[in-house]
């Protein structure tokens, strides 16, 4: 029981809700709006940048496509790891990028779980087009930005 109390004290839930919850809501709302209103594709710069509604059952870059149940299990494992890392690194410089990654992971996990429950094979909505990068969504962007920022903070701490 004492371990649970220590875990609760080490995890700043106010910061968690203040950062993660709005980002997850923004991601889920953007996916809902894309499915409702993105009837045709919109491109600029010779079809290199734009909006195009697609669906993905895999994870980053389409890996494990067609295996949504496995990607959900993998994502839940990453989610547990993220919460553990946030708990351990509370108030360190690497906490903020972990919150970004957590927000993106939660957004995609919620949509994938809902998709599996309603029978759409756990598809995640993607709609941003940026050059040769596979279509992505807000959650994917949060994960990518968080990872880049985490790598930056780790490299910066090594050089100090």
Confidence tier at 13 by pLDDT (50, 70, 90) = low
Confidence tier at 19 by pLDDT (50, 70, 90) = confident
What is the three-class DSSP state of 13? helix
Given a cut of 70, whether residue 120 has pLDDT beyond it is yes
pLDDT value for 101: 95
Provide the residue count of the chain: 160
In sequence order, what are the beta bridge partners of 54? 126
Give yes or no: 27 in active site: no
Given a cut of 60, whether residue 3 has pLDDT beyond it is no
Buried b / exposed e across 21-35, counting CB within 10 Å, b at 16+?
eebbeebbebbeebe
Say if strands 49-56 and 42-44 run parallel, antiparallel, or are unpaired: antiparallel
pLDDT value for 12: 55
Give yes or no: 41 in active site: no
Integer Cα distance of 134 and 117 in angstroms? 26
Given a cut of 80, whether residue 17 has pLDDT beyond it is no
Integer Cα distance of 44 and 21 in angstroms? 32
Is 146 in contact with 101 (CB distance < 8 Å)?
yes
Which helix (H) or strand (E) segment is 115 a member of? Answer: helix 95-118
pLDDT value for 143: 95
């Amino acid at each position: 029981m004492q371990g649970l109390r220590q875990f609760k004290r080490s995890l700043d839930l106010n910061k968690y809700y203040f950062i993660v919850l709005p980002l997850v809501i923004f991601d889920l709302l953007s996916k809902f709006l894309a499915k409702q209103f993105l009837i045709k594709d919109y491109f600029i710069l010779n079809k290199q940048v734009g909006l195009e509604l697609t669906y993905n059952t895999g994870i980053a870059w389409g890996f494990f496509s067609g295996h949504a149940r496995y990607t959900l299990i993998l994502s839940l494992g990453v989610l547990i790891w993220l919460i553990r890392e946030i708990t351990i690194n509370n108030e360190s410089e690497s906490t903020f990028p972990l919150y970004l990654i957590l927000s993106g992971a939660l957004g995609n996990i919620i949509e994938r779980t809902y998709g599996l429950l309603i029978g759409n094979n756990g598809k995640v909505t993607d709609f941003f087009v940026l050059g040769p990068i596979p279509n992505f969504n807000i959650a994917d962007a949060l994960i990518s930005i968080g990872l880049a920022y985490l790598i930056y903070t780790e490299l910066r701490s090594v050089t100090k």
